[in-house]
Amino acid sequence: MTRVFNFSPGPATLPEPVLRQAAGEMLDWHGSGMSVMEMSHRGKEFISIHAEAEALLRELMGVPANYKVLFMQGGAIGENAIVPMNLISRGGKADYVVTGEWSRRSQKEAARFGQVNVAADTEAGHFTHIPKQKEWKLDPGAAYVHICSNETIGGVQFHWTPDTGRVPLVADMSSDILSRPVDVSKYGLIYAGAQKNMGPSGLTVVIVREDLMGHALPVTPSAFNYQLQAENDSMYNTPPTYAIYIMGLVLKHFKGMGGMAAIEAHNKAKARLLYDYLDGSSFYRNPVAKEDRSLMNVPFKLKDDALDADFLKGAQARGMIQLKGHRSVGGMRASIYNAMSLEGVQALVQYMKEFEAQHG
């Protein structure tokens, strides 16, 4: 069996040991005679899986005791509505910092539920940098301030945590959660789809400070009410059981790697290798401000767009897939999440060198 180097932005590559363990346990989980996919979410077997996954997430991220961890469905796009439905009533308005396509979607969705103030917007600069906080126009009466910590399409990332004072900071961390240490106490709420860095699609993790719950708008569906989900241990409705199980295996794997500090070092080494090559080449270019470059998603363009198809064809022939950039920006994009190996990035850089030598 040959495994490819999968540079997909999501659903993304998963650690091979996790996949092998899941395959071995597919028909019979720990002598239960059942697959996890067949288990009742209220049975003792799955409850133990659920509890271990939450405990591992709390340990790895250092989640304080006064925060609830919720396992929900709907993805980050669902949370674009669920967050304001649960939080915006605390003042009727919210601040959004727009640094790319995903935070733009978040801002537009929130406007359906209350007054939205765009505190900063980098679209005029083609979403190639993170605006300095002194440029933000924050509303002290806002219910929360929303950011996207890493923009998957544009490849910009917050390498600092905004200080929003008494106004809770909300972050969509879908594409960089668990990629580096984070001080959860500086956020009121963190949400993330699992399918990029911590598991398969179908699971959304929400980490929310307890005092922010209990303020849901009357229109909020019960299944999306943070308070109800917290009171029911994320089982108000049937949770995405198999995705939670896989996430638990991924988290255990990350712990075995040495935790967040080791994972951050691994991710920095991969990103440095790729960015150093891009910076030294006149054939490829990365448009993002150096101080704001993502460690997770690296967009780049070739000197001649007419060569894009040949580049992708050659990459696939060498076992490297999903390098095509998002349709809104074109070019290429290498997503190098936690499970992408250093060897995968080395193979990509070597191929890029060969392609440049042939076409440059």
Domains of the chain: 16-256 (3.40.640.10), 259-359 (3.90.1150.10)
Q: Which of 95, 102, 292, 301 is catalytic?
A: 102
How far is the first Cα of the chain from the last one, in angstroms, to the nearest whole number?
35
Q: Which of 196, 252, 270, 301 is catalytic?
A: 196
Tell me if 10 sits within 8 A of 196, measured CB to CB: yes
Q: Which of 172, 270, 292, 301 is catalytic?
A: 172
What does the pLDDT read at residue 15?
96
What number of residues does the chain have?
360
- Low pLDDT (below 70) residues in the chain: 1
Q: How many beta carbons lie within 10 A of that of residue 258, not counting itself?
A: 12
Indicate if 172 belongs to the active site.
yes
SS3 at position 17: helix
Indicate if 102 belongs to the active site.
yes
Q: Distance (Å, rounded) from C-alpha 293 to C-alpha 176?
A: 12
What does the pLDDT read at residue 40?
93
Indicate if 304 belongs to the active site.
no
pTM of structure? 0.96
